[in-house]
Every structure is written in C-alpha cells, then in structure tokens.
Structure 1
Amino acid sequence: MVSSTDILNANILIVDDQEANVQLLEQMLREAGYRNLTSTTDPYEVCTLHRKNRNDLILLDLQMPGMDGFQVMEGLKENAADDYLPVLVITAQPDHKLRALQAGAKDFISKPFDLVEAKTRIHNMLEVRLLYKKLEHYSKVLEQTVQERTAELRESEARYRSLTELASDWYWEQDENMNFTRVSGPVLEMLGIQVDAPAGEPGGGQAAGWNEAERKLLQAKIAARQPFLDFAFSRVNADGSQQTFRVSGEPMFNQSSRFIGYRGVGVKLTAKK
C-alpha cells in the first residue's frame, strides 16, 4: 500500500501560463502538506523539468500561448521513461476534457477551481501513480530474483555433477524413451553402451554377457519409475572374467509431473576371473 507520507513526498510539477493560477495551486498543495513542488509558466520547459525530476504528477494547463497542453503531452510521451503519463489537465473548456483523456491525460480539473475537488483528484491520482511505480519496481525485483535463483540452481547442478563425477566412475542421463542423452566417464569401455545411438538400433543398447536376471530386475524398476540405490549387476567379459557394477538412479519429472527420463551414477567394481 501507499502511505500518506509517500503521497505528500511525491514530486509535483505545476504548469500554467498564468502566474496567479500557479500561486493558487502551490498555496493549496502546501497547505495540504505536499512538500516537493516545482512550477513553471513556460510550457517549453516541461519536458526538461520532467526528465530532471521524474515527476509523479504534472498539473498541466491546456490553454497556453505558443505551445498548448496537448502539444506538451505529445512531447512528454516521446520522452517518457515508461508508458504511464502522469498528467492531470486543467481546463475551462468542457469539450477539451474528453480530448485530453484521449491524448493520454489521466484526469482533469475544471476552472475555476473547486479546491476540495482539486485536492481529492490530486490525492487519488498520486495514489494510483505511486502504486503503479511500486508494482513496476516489484516486477523488476522479482525478475532479478528469478534470474539470481536460476543462476544459483545452475551453479548447484554443476557442483552436483562435478561431485558425482568425482565420486563415481560415470554419470548418466536418459530421456523418456530410455535413450542415453548425457554420459560422463568410460561407459563404452565398461558397459559397451553407445551413447549417440538409440537402444535397439545398430550400435545402440548394451553388449552381450549380462546377467539376464539382474538386468530384468533393473529394467522392471526403471519401467515402474522407481529410484534405485547401489543396485548390483554383473556381466561376463569376453576373456571369461566377471565384472560387477553398482548403479544408482532416480526418475526425472518436469513441472507438470510428466516423466522425462532417468539420471544416476555408476561404479565399476573389481573384475574376477
């Protein structure tokens, strides 16, 4: 929420070619407690003053010689830092009100001034403007926080993979079709797995010699999308030696809880004749 202090500390710019009108508005606002007031009787100064002060509200007279309020609003839109034009127009012409709103003004005050109405409209517009700025700031902070958290997660994942590679002989990932998509370590030498060829195709899958009972048990765990820890399975190598492995894995799911594959680590144990 926006506090009364925030509203009274808002930057307000008063633009009117009549000095008497400027003084009247300044007196009214200072008596209401507003602290940061700037004024000008020269419409050509408005854009420069707004760039300098980033005003939260511009009280803009529409009928001014040389450059009217509509031209001032066009200049403000060309130089705006955001798409919000904080203009409250002042006019004695009823037919100018709709045109001003269509040109981008957020509200209007009629001449001659009704001081209670003018203070109410100014207060309400400042409240909306400051809420808009808070929302904009929150969006930027949220975006930055998301970027920072994403970077932290990537760094954490990189550390995890580095540690798993140090603590195991290989790290592996498979997609939902159980094709290997990422492997680190001497998998070809140890398991005969062809990483870049899908299982079932020439060069894919695993080499012969595996203990079929163990393999079926592991495949059943994978088919059931179950995690497994230090699962032991073995194969007989071409030289007659028996090689044992321990593998741990977990299923992966996306944010929609859809299965997208497996990942895990493996360790080669000592071969026995």
Structure 2
Amino acid sequence: MITDEDIRNAKILVADDCERNAWSLEEILRLYDYNQVSVCTKPSLVAPLHSKNHYDLILLDMHMPDMSGLSVMNALRATGMDPYLPVLAITADKTLMHTVLQAGARDFVLKPYDFSELRIRMRNALEVRLLYKAAKEYGRLQKERALHDPLTGLSNRVLLEERIDYGIAYATRDGHAMALMYLDLDGFKQVNDWAPRKIYGHPPFCKGRFWVL
C-alpha cells in the first residue's frame, strides 16, 4: 500500500530550460509538502541525473530549444534502466498530447497550469510509479527466495540445476565440453548443528519422531 508519506518522500525532478519557471514550480511543489524536489535546467543532463538518482517522477517541459522533451525521453529510454519512463510531460501545445503519450510519458499537463489538476495528476503518476517499484522489488525477492537458502543465502538446488542446464546448453551450442566439480565438506554436520544453536540458543534434539528446535 502506498501511503501519503511515500508520496511526500518520492524523488521528483523538475526539468525546464527556463530557470524562472523551474524554480517557481519547485517552490510550489515544496508548498505541497514534497520533500525531495530537484531542478535541472539543462535538458542534456536529465538522463544522466536519472541514472544516478532514480527519480520517481520527472516533470519534463516539452519545449526546450537545445534539446526537445521528446529527445530527452529518448535519452531516458536509452539508459536501459527499466521500460517505465516516470515522465509527466508539460506542454502548451494540445496537439502534442497523443505524441508524448505514445512516446512513453505517463501523463501530461497543459500550460498555463491548473495547479489543482497538476497536483492530482502528479499524485496519480507517483502512486503508479511507486506501486510499479514495489511490485518489481517483490518479484525480485520472490525469485531470490526461490533460488537461495533463506538461512545461509547460498544458492539452492533449484539454482544449481538451472545453472547446470545453462552450462550444458551453452557447451552444446558452441561445441565445447563442460566440467562439473563436486566438493564435499568435512564436518558439515557441525555447521548444521551450530545454526539452530546460534538462532534458538540450543542444538536440535530428537523427541520421538520429531526434531525439536
């Protein structure tokens, strides 16, 4: 669930070559209680800044003389960070609305601003972005848990079999041989006995048909 605090603490970048417009919009967003607002007045720096800071929303002016907003979006896509472009396009040209959406922008706002509309569109875009990030992280954790032992963090049997299959496939494709090294650890039972002692304060013991931790 995305909370109001999550929204307020989202990372936001205002990208506009007109310094007066950029700083004015930043001041307005701070009045709306957004805590992490940055400004960029050089469009060529937007993509590098996003690669470094991973913004949750970029308020991008589409009419900049040195580099258009669409070119900035292409540069953002070229970073390869993820297919999701967290861009809220800002334009005074209504004919650009379909173009910016087709280019990957999440939404758009027309100039001159209707600030109540801007606030709603920003919140909606941020909620979707944060949900996307949460789902992506959840998927990563699920995959991690499926392929690694939760206690040691080491690769489990599922990942081992997957890697062996990959190795065989690559060797077959390239006409190479593949070697598999098998290692045995002396005294590994002591490690198994030590782990429950470390966690529960005592070694496991057998009670009837069950091991008690």
TM-score normalised according to structure 2 size = 0.69
In structure 2, what is the equivalent of residue 5 of structure 1? 5
Shift of 1:17: 1.5
**Structure in which a larger fraction of residues adopt strand:** 1
Shift of 1:116: 0.5
Shift of 1:66: 1.4
Confirm or deny that 1:50 pairs with 2:55: no
CA spacing shift, 1:113–1:153, aligned 2, 3 Å:
closer
CA spacing shift, 1:66–1:153, aligned 2, 3 Å:
closer
Secondary structure at the residue paired with 1:17? coil
Secondary structure at the residue paired with 2:84? coil
Amino acid at match of 1:106: R
In structure 2, what is the equivalent of residue 93 of structure 1? 93
Per-residue deviation, residues 136-170 of structure 1 (Å, max 9, x unmatched): 00000000111125826899xxxxxxxxxxxxxxx
Unaligned 5+ residue runs, structure 2?
150-154, 161-213
In structure 2, what is the equivalent of residue 102 of structure 1? 102
Aligned 8 A contact 1:16 1:60 in 2? yes
Unaligned 5+ residue runs, structure 1?
156-273
Aligned 8 A contact 2:148 2:159 in 1? no
In structure 2, what is the equivalent of residue 271 of structure 1? none
In structure 2, what is the equivalent of residue 199 of structure 1? none
Per-residue deviation, residues 88-131 of structure 1 (Å, max 9, x unmatched): 00000000111000111110011000000001101110010000
In structure 2, what is the equivalent of residue 130 of structure 1? 130
TM-score normalised according to structure 1 size = 0.54
- Tell me, in whole angstroms, the C-alpha distance in 1 between the residues paired with 2:60 and 2:120: 16
* 1:194-213 → structure 2 map (5 Å cutoff): none
Secondary structure at the residue paired with 2:148? helix
- Tell me, in whole angstroms, the C-alpha distance in 2 between the residues paired with 1:121 and 1:115: 10
In structure 1, what is the equivalent of residue 29 of structure 2? 29
Amino acid at match of 1:115: F
Within the candidate set 153, 156, 171, 1:151 is matched to: 156
Shift of 1:85: 0.5
Secondary structure at the residue paired with 1:90? strand
- Tell me, in whole angstroms, the C-alpha distance in 1 between the residues paired with 2:96 and 2:81: 26
**Structure in which a larger fraction of residues adopt helix:** 2
In structure 2, what is the equivalent of residue 192 of structure 1? none
In structure 2, what is the equivalent of residue 76 of structure 1? 76
Aligned 8 A contact 1:57 1:88 in 2? yes
- Tell me, in whole angstroms, the C-alpha distance in 1 between the residues paired with 2:32 and 2:115: 11
Aligned 8 A contact 1:28 1:115 in 2? no
Aligned 8 A contact 1:13 1:37 in 2? yes
Amino acid at match of 2:156: A
Shift of 1:19: 1.8
- Tell me, in whole angstroms, the C-alpha distance in 1 between the residues paired with 2:148 and 2:48: 36
* 1:226-245 → structure 2 map (5 Å cutoff): none
CA spacing shift, 1:59–1:153, aligned 2, 3 Å:
closer
- Tell me, in whole angstroms, the C-alpha distance in 2 between the residues paired with 1:5 and 1:152: 41
Amino acid at match of 1:30: R
Aligned 8 A contact 1:59 1:90 in 2? yes
In structure 1, what is the equivalent of residue 114 of structure 2? 114
Aligned 8 A contact 2:62 2:91 in 1? yes
- Please say which structure displays the higher CA radius of gyration: 1
In structure 2, what is the equivalent of residue 243 of structure 1? none
Higher RCO, 1 or 2 (CA under 8 Å, sep at least 6)? Answer: 2
Amino acid at match of 1:58: I
Secondary structure at the residue paired with 2:66? coil
Identity of aligned residues (%): 43
List structure 1 segments (4+ residues) > 6 angstroms apart after TM superposition.
152-155
